[in-house]
Each structure stands twice: as C-alpha cells, then as structure tokens.
Amino acid sequence: MEPLRVAIAGLGTVGLGTLKLLEKNNKLLAERTGRRIFVTAISARDRTKKRDHAIDHLKWFDDPVDMAREADADVIVELIGGERDPAKSICEAALGSGRHVVTANKALMATHGNELSKLAEKNTKILNFEAAIAGGIPIVKALREGLSGNEIKRVYGILNGTCNYILTEMRQQRKSFDEVLQEAQSLGYAEAEPSMDVDGIDAGQKLSLLASLAFGCRINFSGVYTEGIRHISLIDIDYAEELGYRIKLLGSARLTENGLEQRVYPCMVGQSFPIANVEGAYNAVVAIGDSVGDTVFQGLGAGSGPTASAVVADLVDIALERKAPTMGISTNDLRSLPEAPISMHLGAYYVRLMVNDRPGVIADISAVFRDENISIESLIQHGRSVTEAVPVVMKMHECIEDSMQKALSKIHHLDSVIETPTMVRIEDLN
C-alpha cells in the first residue's frame, strides 16, 4: 500500500511528541496498518527556534495554511491550538483541498466543530480529534465505536488534570488553593494565566464534545453551565472527608426531561466511587450505557507522550481507512437539544456558613431553609467561640437549585452570617 504522508502544524509539546512517536514506533505502525506513516512537512511560528528533535530533513512552511493546502500530504495534523486562526483556516484549507485532518484542539472543536464536521462530510474526508478530550484516554473511539451498541445514559468525568492536581495537593499537602496554584505554575503544570483551567472552561469545551458524541446532538459549548474551583477551600475539603465525600471538578452530561444537561462544577462525590480516587494530574471518564452499564476510562489527560498517543491513533485509523462520522453520526442527523437550566437542578447540597455564634442563629437559618421547602439532613458545628466566627456545616436533602440559591441569598443577609455562604453540590453517581 502507498505510505500515508503527514504534515504537522505546530511543533510544541504535542507536535514534537507526535513527530517523535511516529519515528520511534515507525515499524510497529507499519505492521499494524500495512503501510508506512511518515511526516513530509512541518510548520510552526519560528523556524529558528531550537527544538529537541531533528527537523531539518522535513519541508518547512512559514505559513501553516499554505502547508495545509499545498503540502505533499494526505493528512494535516493541527497542533497549534486556539479557536481561531490559523487553526481554523488550517482545517478548512486541508479539508477543502482533499486532505484528512487530525487535531488535538478542544477550543476549536467546541466552537467550530459543527461546521468543520460538515465540511469534512461534504468533502468525504476524515476529521479526527481523539486528543482533544482527556488526552491519552481513547474516549472518542470508545463512544463512537466500542459503545456504539448502547444508548448512553450519562457521561461524566474528571476532564482537567490541572484542577484535579490542585484539589489533590490541597487535600494531601494541606495547602490553600493559592499556594498550590502558585506551585503548579512554577512547575509548569498550570498556565501563568490559569483561568481556562481553574474556571472550568477547558473542561466545559471537552464536555460539549463528549455530550455530542454520547447523545448524537450538535456541539453546544455555550450551553455548558460552568463553575470553577477558586472558591474551594481546605476547610471544605476537610468537611467533605468527614462526611464521606471527596471534592472533584466534574463535567457531566445527560438527557433529562428538561433537556440536555451539560455541567462543569466542583462537587462532592462518595469516596467509594472510582472517580473519587482518581488523583493528581490524571483524568477519568465514566460512560454509562443501557446495555454495558458503567465503563470507566482513566489515564493522563495531558503531556507530550499521552497526547501524541491519541494523535497517532487517529492517524492509524486514517491509514487503515477506518472512517466514522466526526461526531458519531452524520451531521444532518445531529439533533439540536434544549438546554436543561441549572436552576432546575435537583440534588443534595453541602452548605458552610461562617457565623457569629449567638443564641437563635441556627433557628434563623433553619427558618430560611424551611420557607424555601429545603430540609436539613445533618448539621455539624465543631467548637464554639464568642469572639470568632465559627463554621456551621449542613448537608441538605435533595432540593431544586433555584430554591437553594434563594435560601442562600437570604441567609447571606442575616446579621449573624459574616461571609458569603459556601455551597458545594453533592453529586449522585448511582
């Protein structure tokens, strides 16, 4: 068979990792696909930059969009990143000129995946994006192929390694969010501008792709409800442990009678669930099918090697001419689903209040919850102080989010409550 010729746009962490892996496992890949997979052309921003891998034998393009259109290649691998140009134009130029595309770019797929999938379909080309969700975990393939006999009931997971690392370090090293974030930044685990990670945006982008694959709907990133982890403090992590939970930033999607639920927020999960024990920089995805039940996938969601592993797997599929619609079904058949609003969320809650410990405080708080039809399952107050604020922690029975928000807003205005109440949802994973 003819070799598969590949051009790579972007020679950073993932681009160089992909180049190295293709060279290292060249023989193995040839055995598995029956053809050689080799890189013919490359492009990045700075040609003179020192790279820790030989690239002089490869044809260099200053402009990656020109490369996508003109290179001697069957596949263009987009590893530059970002939702706009040049990433978008590279994919459009490649698909428009009859080349397949592999990308690791969740931002691009979350915002322009619908139109790019359509373009791929129109040109009968493949658009693969395994590395865009949970790095090295083969979850796109699992949902698109391995679980294709199932109606998917729910898909959820730890989709951002930086947040999972921060939450794990806070608990294990007994450090504050700010301390761990700073350390993560100095070690290169977190970006200098961390909001994509810690505010849940990156996880939200990945969740919108998972939801589309799982439920056969159009990608709807703007419909993802997103909350990050900045407000999680060590004290809440400790109370979670005491109550038998662990705090994780989860992305979760399911179909409900109110529409498609797509949510990213920190929540308490029971310590006995596998996801509670996924620690550090690891990612995990749980997909629940009507026939198979729970399936759990765990692995590194970032880094040169794990991400290159997913990119190369996409190339192997192309070399084998294995072709699946980008989002699992034809773009014409992807549904537009209504969004289930977070105000309708039904669940249990953890609430922590910092109060001046005066007689009648608990009665005032209980009255507010009673008026909103919310009942308290348990209450913890360790110690008393007449001079300092003390934490009062409550576990609430299931209620509607809207009622909880109204109650918290009223409680915030009580004289004896001296901080904004902290609320963490308790996630039902059964």
What are the residues binding ligand NAP (CB under 6 A)?
10-15, 43-46, 49, 64, 79-81, 86, 104-106, 131, 135, 302-303, 307
Closest distance to ligand NAP from the beta carbon of 47 (Å) = 8
Q: Quote the tokens at residue 422.
A: 């902290």
Q: Among 229, 203, 227, which residue's Cα sits nearest to residue 134?
A: 203
Give the Cα separation of 358 and 368 in Å (integer). 17
Closest distance to ligand NAP from the beta carbon of 55 (Å) = 11
CA 236 to mean position of chain CA atoms: 23
Looking at the Cβ atoms of 126 and 159, the one nearer to ligand NAP is 159
- The residue sitting closest to ligand NAP, measured at its beta carbon, is 12
Contacts for 228 with CB less than 8 Å, ≥ 6 apart:
163, 195, 198, 199, 200, 249, 266
Looking at the Cβ atoms of 135 and 421, the one nearer to ligand NAP is 135
Contacts for 118 with CB less than 8 Å, ≥ 6 apart:
331
Q: Is 24 a catalytic residue?
A: no
Q: Quote the tokens at residue 168.
A: 């794990």
Looking at the Cβ atoms of 22 and 424, the one nearer to ligand NAP is 22
Looking at the Cβ atoms of 14 and 417, the one nearer to ligand NAP is 14
Looking at the Cβ atoms of 202 and 227, the one nearer to ligand NAP is 202
Closest distance to ligand NAP from the beta carbon of 384 (Å) = 48
Closest distance to ligand NAP from the beta carbon of 10 (Å) = 3
Closest distance to ligand NAP from the beta carbon of 114 (Å) = 18
Residues of 29-66 as b/e, b for ≥16 C-beta within 10 angstroms?
A: bbeebeebbebbbbbbeeeeeeeeeeeeebeebeebbe
Looking at the Cβ atoms of 11 and 334, the one nearer to ligand NAP is 11
Q: Burial level of 11, CB count in 10 A (0-12/13-18/19+)?
A: buried
CA 36 → CA 273, 308, 370, distances in Å?
Answer: 43, 17, 69
Q: Burial level of 414, CB count in 10 A (0-12/13-18/19+)?
A: middle
Closest distance to ligand NAP from the beta carbon of 300 (Å) = 9
The residues facing 247 across adjacent strands are: 268
Which of the residues 206, 248, 395, 410 is marked catalytic? 206
DSSP assignments along 81-129, one per residue: -SSSTTHHHHHHHHHHTT-EEEE--HHHHHHHHHHHHHHHHHTT--EE-
Residues catalogued as catalytic: 206
